[in-house]
Structures are given as C-alpha cells and as structure tokens.
Copies of this chain bind each other. A is one copy, B any other.
Amino acid sequence: MKTLKKAVVVPVLANVQVTHDTWHITLEDKQIAHDSCGGQFVNVFVPQNNGVLWRRPFGIHTTDPDKGVFTLLYKQIGRGTTALTTVKAGEALDILGPLGNCFTHTSDLKEAIIVAGGIGIAPFPLFIQHLVQHSVKISVFYGARSKIDFCCLDFFRQTGVNLHLATEDGSSGHKGFITAPLLAYLQTLPDKPGARIYVCGPTPMLAKMKELCRDTGVPAEVSVETMMGCGFGACMGCPVPLENPASDGRLYALACKDGPVFNLEEIRFDE
C-alpha cells in the first residue's frame, strides 16, 4: 500500500514515564524530525481500539534532525493515552504529521515569554530549540498543580532560559497561578514592543491570559486544544470561535488547519 507523505508508520525508540502521570515517547522519522516547527502536532492512531475511534493529537515536543528522531510528551488522562503508555520500544506507531501551524518568530522578536500550564508545556521545547539558535531572549512561566507535575526542568536549566515556576499547592515557586508572577514581570518589562507571549494551557488560564495581555498590551499567541475528529481539516469538528467574523464571514477557525496556534486576541473562550 503506497501512501503519500504525512501518513507514516514510525518506529518507537523509547516510551518512558517521566512524572506520576506523564510520559515521553521517542519516535523515528526523518521527515518529521526535519520539517517540524514548534506548535505543530502529530495525530496518533491508538493501538488496541477499545471503542477509541479517533486518533489522539500531541504537540511535537522536541526534534533531533541529525538523528531523525522526534519526541512527544503526553499526560495519561483517558482511554487513548492509557493505551499509549503500553507501547514499547521496538513497536511502531501509525501517525499523521506534521500537522497544523507554528508559533511565529518574526525578525523583530527580542524576548519570547513562554507561558505554560500543566501539560501545556509540551509544544515549547521544540520552539525554544529554534529560538536559542536565533539568540532570542527566552523567559518561561510554568505553572502546575504541584511540584511533582513539572516536566523538562533540566531542559530549561540547560538551555539557560529565565525560568519562573508556580504551583497551586505552593510546593515549588510562587504559590498560586503562574499568571500572578507573569503580571508582575510584564508590568516591569523594559522592552515591551520587542516582547511576545506564547501560551499553552487549560482554557481557564487562556481566558485569564487574554485579559492580562489586553491590560498589559503585550501581544500573545496561543496553542489551543479542542477535540479533534481527524486533525487535517476534514471533519470540521474543531471550531475555534473568532472574536470577530473573518473577512470571508467565517465565525470559526479550525484548530487543526488554521491552528493550533492563533493570535490570542482573535479567538474567544466563552463557549
């Protein structure tokens, strides 16, 4: 069966648990390792389908173009991700990708302020790999429920990013939501025009960020999460409500095709 690009069966090199509920899987595919940019995702066919019909989307976490490998960071939350934890090195995964668009890095970018809530951290390391190569200043604001939920802290320390942590239970960093230290930081930010925020996290956090960006005037891009029936624009099941109708009259964008990255001010979260 010859298939064209984008539908591939890739070898699993490793699948290891990194926190109490989060796993890191390493996959081999030259093209994805080479072509992907931060924000894009792959759609994974879940082995053993106990009534699981759809693929499961995951942001591309890191890539190593030289070795032709890439990784995903995933949190075990339900049937699909639980099945994924049982996949072993040496097996193969049927995936589609890379899908979707990327966080944008325009030439005037001086500081990238990355804001992640929980597993929302997943798509950022790839973007950071890219920004580091372009010597952009990077600040990471990373909130989680508790200390035990943090992932990739070593990566951030090695990369030398300016790291701020918050936990809801106060077990590490600021006690409370990450938006509080972020707001303090933005209020004292010297070079606002060169800064841009990149957000990924739970919907309540995104709604909060929207307010915060409006108030501080720092523009933001957000990677959204919706249910995805297909991941490549066929089912129209992933609408993202737009603040204002698009020029062609559309009230919704599609998360998988027009996103998953959007300008925060363009989309609505109230539904």
Q: Of A21-29, A30-38, A45-53, A253-261, which stretch is located at the interface?
A: A45-53
**Cβ of A49: which chain B residues have Cβ within 8 Å of it?**
50
**Cβ of A48: which chain B residues have Cβ within 8 Å of it?**
48, 50
CA distance A50 to B49 in the complex (A): 7
Quickly give the copy total for this chain. Answer: 2
- Min distance, Cβ A250 to any Cβ of chain B, angstroms: 38
**Cβ of A50: which chain B residues have Cβ within 8 Å of it?**
48-50
- Min distance, Cβ A46 to any Cβ of chain B, angstroms: 12
CA distance A251 to B49 in the complex (A): 41
CA distance A49 to B48 in the complex (A): 10
Residue interface mask A50-80, B partner, CB < 8 A = 1: 1100000000000000000000000000000
CA distance A55 to B212 in the complex (A): 57
Q: Which residue of B lies closest to A51 (CB)?
A: B51
**Cβ of A51: which chain B residues have Cβ within 8 Å of it?**
51
CA distance A170 to B49 in the complex (A): 42
CA distance A50 to B46 in the complex (A): 13
CA distance A153 to B50 in the complex (A): 39
CA distance A51 to B51 in the complex (A): 7
CA distance A51 to B50 in the complex (A): 7
- Min distance, Cβ A79 to any Cβ of chain B, angstroms: 12
- Min distance, Cβ A28 to any Cβ of chain B, angstroms: 27
CA distance A51 to B49 in the complex (A): 9
CA distance A74 to B48 in the complex (A): 23
CA distance A48 to B48 in the complex (A): 9
- Min distance, Cβ A49 to any Cβ of chain B, angstroms: 7
- Min distance, Cβ A45 to any Cβ of chain B, angstroms: 15
- Min distance, Cβ A102 to any Cβ of chain B, angstroms: 37
CA distance A51 to B48 in the complex (A): 11
CA distance A48 to B83 in the complex (A): 11
CA distance A44 to B49 in the complex (A): 21
CA distance A50 to B50 in the complex (A): 5
CA distance A50 to B51 in the complex (A): 7
- Min distance, Cβ A52 to any Cβ of chain B, angstroms: 10
CA distance A157 to B49 in the complex (A): 45
CA distance A50 to B52 in the complex (A): 10
CA distance A20 to B49 in the complex (A): 27
CA distance A50 to B48 in the complex (A): 7
CA distance A48 to B51 in the complex (A): 11
Residue interface mask A224-257, B partner, CB < 8 A = 1: 0000000000000000000000000000000000
Residue interface mask A175-212, B partner, CB < 8 A = 1: 00000000000000000000000000000000000000
**A-B residue pairs, 4 tightest by C-beta:** A50-B50, A48-B48, A48-B50, A49-B50
